[in-house]
Amino acid sequence: MSRVRTAVLISGRGSNLKALISACAKPQFSAELVLVISNQADAAGLRHARAAGIPARIIPHTEFNNRESFDAALNAALGDADVELVCLAGFMRILSEGFVLKWQGRMINIHPSLLPSFKGARVHERAIESGVRISGCTVHFVTPEMDSGPPIAQAAVPVHAGDTPETLAARVLEAEHRLYPLALRMIAEGRVRLENGRAVFSGYECADDVLISPRE
């Protein structure tokens, strides 16, 4: 079976990277992790890559004069590894439009909200302040406008009355670790693609269960 050569870009702890490593370690999984890149030399996620025997590269953004030159270095590293698909997992850099367009349809990201709600930062704090009863996470195609690409998969979690941003973040993160491998597998198997600005699906089933919060 030919597996899709996949890279993961990180900046920090790499918990979603760890979930992707576990999924890709299964012999029948349709994607193969061939490269991890971090813009931070002290990113804890690099340890996960090295422990799994996945090549890891550090490309510090501070060594480049502008965003475009940094992105050119990223692109060169991806090309050297014959990468076909890119996963952003806590990669804390805004990518240039040229880079995004080059990888459009082949680059995905995970965001800790049910997009299009709560784009950007302070997601869990803003969700609690707004009074929503359900939050969650979204895996989406990356497009030039931040957190605005077509959703591929979403997972919902309840917002509890006593939640803090930290407790809600922990609950959403558990869902992220289940959702990201699912979305990666769907793309690698050719069951979802970006077409005319939308995610087009084939050969999949939607979940039938409903999350209602709060329960009676």
In the predicted structure, residue 200 carries a pLDDT above the cut 90: yes
Q: Which of 26, 31, 21 is nearest to 55 (CA)?
A: 21
Question: 40-60 pLDDT, tens per residue?
Answer: 999 999 999 999 999 999 999
Question: 134-175 pLDDT, tens per residue?
Answer: 999 999 999 999 999 999 999 999 999 999 999 999 999 999
Strands 151-158 and 192-195: unpaired
Output DSSP code: residue 189.
T
Question: 11-26 pLDDT, tens per residue?
Answer: 999 999 999 999 999 9
Which pair of tokens denotes residue 150?
């077509």
User: Where in the sequence is the domain holding 159, given as residue range(s)?
Assistant: 4-192
Q: What is the CATH number of the domain that holds 46?
A: 3.40.50.170
Catalytic residue, chosen from 48, 111, 140, 177, is: 111
Q: Nearest 5°: phi and psi at 202?
A: -150, 145
Span 176-196, mean pLDDT?
A: 96
Q: What is the pLDDT of residue 203?
A: 82
pTM to 2 decimals?
A: 0.95
The beta-carbon contacts of 162-166 under 8 Å, at least 24 apart in sequence, are 163/128, 164/128, 165/122, 165/124, 165/125, 165/128, 166/124
41 located within any domain: yes
197 located within any domain: no
Number of domains in the chain: 1
Span 115-124, mean pLDDT?
A: 96
Q: Is 201 helix (H, G, I), strand (E, B) or coil?
A: strand
Q: Which of 95, 154, 163, 180 is nearest to 126 (CA)?
A: 163
Q: Is 125 helix (H, G, I), strand (E, B) or coil?
A: helix
In the predicted structure, residue 216 carries a pLDDT above the cut 80: no
199 located within any domain: no
Question: 128-138 pLDDT, tens per residue?
Answer: 999 999 999 99
- 61 as an active site residue: the answer is no
